[in-house]
Amino acid sequence: MGVAVGIDLGTSNSCVAAMRDGEPVVFADQEGRRTQPSIVAFGYGKSTVVGWRAKRQLMYAPESTVVSAKRLIGRRPGSEEVERMKSQSAFGITTGEQGDLRIRVQGKLFSPAEISAHVLVHMKRIAEAALGETVDKAVITVPAYFNDNQRQATRDAATIAGLECLRILNEPTAAALAYGFKQGKRQHIAVYDLGGGTFDISILRIDDDFFEVIATAGDTFLGGDDFDYCAADEFMRLFCQQSGLDVSENRTVRMKLREAAERAKVALSTGEAVEVSVPTLYRSPEGKEYDFATTLDRFTYAQWVMPLVQRTFDVCEDALKSANMGPRQIDHVLLVGGMTRYPLIRDSVQGFFQKAPNASVNPDEVVAIGAAIQAHNLTNEEETASSVLLDVTPQSLGVRTVGGFCETIIPRNTAIPTESTKVFHTAFEDQSEVRISVFQGESRMAEDNELLGEFVLDGLPARQRGQVRVRVTFEIDNDGIVHVRAVDSVLGQERAIRIEARSGLSVAEVQTARFDDIDF
Amino acid sequence: MTMDPRLRIRYEIETMHELLAELDYYQLLQVKAACPQADIDAAFRVEGRRLHPDRVSAGAPPEFRTVANTVFKAVNDAYRVLRDPDGRTHYDNELRAGRLRMDQEARKAAEAEAAARNDPNKAARTEKGGKFWKLALQGFADKDFNGAAMNIQFALSFEPDNEVFKEWLVKVNVAKEEIKKEKATHNAYKIRI
C-alpha cells in the first residue's frame, strides 16, 4: 500500500507534504527547493518538463509554456475570467470539440485538468524520491471559493495523474488545521489567503481538535498574478510614452514586462525603491533596439495596486458579516499564500483586523502541511484521536425558476456534508419531462450565477398539470461537490443523476490520458 | 466483556441510520427539547467529534461510509436549525404538529417570519412615533447618524418600551463613534507608506 500525501496545488507554486512518525514533513526536490512552480513546458528537448525547469523556458518560449492553469480549471469559454486570461497569456486558449475550454500548445489541445495533472505527477514523484516509497493517494487543496465545476475538474486532474483523491480540501481550512494541530486551544481565527491567483478569507472556530468553519468568502480571480499584470500595464504605458511606439499588443514585450513587474514586487518587499531595467525590450522590424528603464518606489507601487488590496477587504467584510462577527472578535489572523510575505499586504491586514497577524506559520508550506494532516486522518485506522474538520459550502446552490430567477436550495456557508430536497411540479398537461438547471452563486438572477449543469427528468407519466410531483434531492459532499438525485411521486423510482458538463473531460479521456513523456 | 470502541460507534451509527426517519433534531443531537441554548452548541461539538464520517470511516467498508454520511447530514441539519433561537422556536411548533424535519417550505416560512420580526420598517406601533422613526431610518441610510440618533430619541418619547428603537439607538451610536475614529485615523486599513 502506498503513502498518502497532501498536495497544495497552487496557481504559481505547488508544495507536497506527508505525516512521518506523527509530524508533518515537507518534501524538497533534489536541489533542496521546497516549492515547485506550477508551470508545464512542452517541447523542451522533445519532452515535457514541469516545475523549475519549465520556469526557465518561460522567458524564451512563452507560447509553449503553460502558467497559471489553475485560473482556467473548471471554467467555461467566453466567461469574463477566461477572456481576461486570454489577453494576458502567451499560450493559446481556445474552445474544444465539446464546447469546453482547451489550452493550445504547439498545435495540440490540452484541458486545464491535464496541465494540472502534469503538476500533480511532478509533486508525486518528488515525494516518492524523498520517501523511497510509492505515493498513490492524496488530499488536494483548492481555494475555498472554488465552485463545483472547479472542484470536479481538480478531482479529474488527480485521476489523470493516477492518484486516488482522498479529499478536496479548502486551502484556508488546511492552513487552520496545520496551525491548530496539537494546540488544544479554544479560539476564533481568520485565515487571509492571498495566493498567486486566488483570494480566500475563512473564519473558523477552533475548540481543541474540533475545527468548524463559520463563514468563508473569496474571489477566484484575484491574486499575485493580478498585482504583476497591474504593474506590467503601468510599465507598458511608460514604455510606450518613452519610445513613442505602440507595442501594447506584443506578447513577448508583455511577457518581459510581467517578469520585470514580478521582480520589482520582490525587490520592493525589502527596499524602498527599485531600478527597473529591461535591456532590448523591443526590437523593431528595422532592427532598432529599445531598452526600458524606470525607477519605482513603494509609494507609487502601492498606489497602482491599491484597488486590488481594497478588494480583498471588501471580501473580508462580507465573510465577517456572514459570521455575524466584527474584526475585533477574531483572536488570531493567519496569513497564507506567497503574496502575504509583502509588507504592503501585512500592514494592510493589520490595519483591517486591528491586530498583528500571526507569524508562526510559513505561508508557502502551511497549506500542504494541513493537507498532509488530513490525509493522515483519513487513512489512519489505528488512532481515533484525530481532529475533526467541519467545512461549509462557499456559494449558494440554486435552481432556475420562472422568470429567470434563481431559487436557493442550499445557502452559502451551510455545513457540509448536507442535503436538501425540493419538490418540482409539472407545469402543463401530459408533460413528460422536467428540465432543471442548477446554478452556484449569490445573484438573484440565474444568468449571473455559474451554471453547474442541466438535467432532464424524462419518461414522466401522463397526468394533469401539477399532478406529477418530482422530489429532487441536492447533496453537497465532503469535497464540496454537488450530487443530485430525483424521485417522481407517481412511479416512486429513484434515479441518481450526475450533473453533466463539468471539466469537459469525458470519463474515457480521464482514463486514457498518459504521462509517459514527462522528463522528471 | 468490553467492545472495541470503534466497532461500538459503528454499531451506534448503523442503529441511528435505521431509526433516522423517527429521530427528531433534539434526539439527533442527544439533548433534551427544553435544554438551554448553550447546550445545543456544546452537544453539536460532542456529537460532531463522535459521529463525523472522517473519524469513523477509516478502515470501514465503503457501504458504512455512505451510512455515516447520511447520519451526519441529519446531525448537521439539526444543528443548522437549532443553533438559531428563532429557527428553534419555529421548529418546536413544527414538532408539536408532528413534523420531525424542517423541509424547504417550512424553512422559508421561518425565514420570512424572522425577516418580518427584524424588518425595521414595521417596528413602530404609534403614528407619531412612526413619523420620527421613518426620519431616523432615512437619516441612517444617508449616514446622518446625529440626525438619526435625535429622531430615535423623539420616537422613543412616544414608545419608551420599543426594543427595536433601543437596539437601533445603540447601533447608531456605535456608527457615530466609528465615523469619528475613521476621521481621526484616515480610514485605518487603507495603505499608508
Tell me the pLDDT tens digit for each residue of B142-181: 888 888 888 898 888 888 878 788 888 888 888 888 777 7
ipTM of the complex: 0.85
Sign of CA dihedral B104, B106, B111, B116: positive
Active site residue A212: no
CA of A137 to nearest chain B CA: how many angstroms apart?
A: 14
User: Contact B189/A352, CB-based, under 8 Å?
Assistant: yes
**How far apart, in whole angstroms, are the C-alpha atoms of residue A239 and residue A246?**
9
**Cβ pair A4, A376 in contact under 8 A:** yes
Q: Which residues of B touch A409 (CB under 8 A)?
A: 104
Q: Which residues of A touch B45 (CB under 8 A)?
A: 207, 210, 212
For domain B5-118, give the fold. Helix Hairpins (1.10.287)
User: Contact A478/B189, CB-based, under 8 Å?
Assistant: no
The per-residue pLDDT for A23 is 92
**Cβ pair A137, A372 in contact under 8 A:** no
Quick check: B77 contacting A, CB < 8 Å? Answer: yes
In this predicted model, what pLDDT tens digit does every residue of B65-103 receive, in sequence order? 999 999 999 999 999 999 988 889 989 998 998 888 887
Catalytic residue among A156, A193, A479, A488: A193
Active site residue A171: yes
| Reported confidence tier of residue A87, pLDDT bands at 50, 70, 90 | confident
Closest CA to A371 of A95, A87, A5, A99: A5
User: Contact B80/A309, CB-based, under 8 Å?
Assistant: no
- In sequence order, the β-bridge partners of residue A142 are A170
**How far apart, in whole angstroms, are the C-alpha atoms of residue A280 and residue A291?**
5
**A47 pLDDT above the threshold of 70:** yes
| Reported confidence tier of residue A347, pLDDT bands at 50, 70, 90 | very high
Closest CA to A423 of A486, A495, A479: A486
**Cβ pair A473, A483 in contact under 8 A:** no
Catalytic residue among A55, A70, A124, A137: A70
The per-residue pLDDT for A383 is 65
The per-residue pLDDT for B121 is 76
User: Contact A478/B77, CB-based, under 8 Å?
Assistant: no
**A384 pLDDT above the threshold of 80:** no
**Cβ pair A325, A188 in contact under 8 A:** yes
**A28 pLDDT above the threshold of 60:** yes
The per-residue pLDDT for A495 is 58
**How far apart, in whole angstroms, are the C-alpha atoms of residue A512 and residue A191?**
38
Please give the backbone phi and psi of residue A104, each rounded to the nearest 5 degrees, phi first.
-105, 120
User: Which domains, from first to last, does chain A contain?
Assistant: 3-222+312-391 (3.30.420.40), 224-303 (3.90.640.10), 397-497 (2.60.34.10)
What is the pLDDT averaged over residues A157-170?
Answer: 96
Quick check: A422 contacting B, CB < 8 Å? Answer: yes
**Cβ neighbour number for residue A272 with a 10 Å cutoff:** 9
**What DSSP character marks residue A253?**
H
Quick check: B190 contacting A, CB < 8 Å? Answer: yes
Active site residue A8: yes
**How far apart, in whole angstroms, are the C-alpha atoms of residue B157 and residue A416?**
48
Q: Which three cell numbers stand for residue A201?
A: 478569507
**Cβ pair A281, A261 in contact under 8 A:** no
Best of A167, A206, A210, A214 to disrupt the B interface (most B CBs within 10 Å) is A210
Where do we find the cell 489553475?
Answer: A70
Max distance between CA atoms of chain A, in angstroms, equals: 79
Which pTM value belongs to this model? 0.84
CA of B60 to nearest chain A CA: how many angstroms apart?
A: 9
The per-residue pLDDT for A516 is 44
- Angle, vertex CA A378, rays to CA A375 and CA A381, nearest 5: 120
* Bridge pairing between strands A273-283 and A164-170: unpaired
Domain positions in chain B = 5-118, 120-185
Quick check: B83 contacting A, CB < 8 Å? Answer: no
Q: Which residues of B20-39 are buried (b: 16+ CB within 10 A; e: fewer)?
A: eeebebbebbebeeeeeeee
Full DSSP string of A221-249: T-SHHHHHHHHHHHHHHHHHHHH----TT
**Cβ pair A400, A437 in contact under 8 A:** yes
The per-residue pLDDT for B1 is 57
Tell me which of A185-199, A229-243, B91-105 is least confident. B91-105
**Cβ pair B148, B139 in contact under 8 A:** yes
**How far apart, in whole angstroms, are the C-alpha atoms of residue A305 and residue A309?**
7
Quick check: A420 contacting B, CB < 8 Å? Answer: yes
Shortest CB distance from B189 goes to which of A313, A417, A477? A313
Quick check: B80 contacting A, CB < 8 Å? Answer: yes
Q: Which residues of A touch B190 (CB under 8 A)?
A: 306, 310, 348, 351
Instruction: Round to the nearest angstrom and report the end-to-end CA distance of chain A.
Output: 23
| Reported confidence tier of residue A504, pLDDT bands at 50, 70, 90 | very low
Best of B28, B72, B73 to disrupt the A interface (most A CBs within 10 Å) is B73
Q: Which three cell numbers stand for residue A508?
A: 474515457
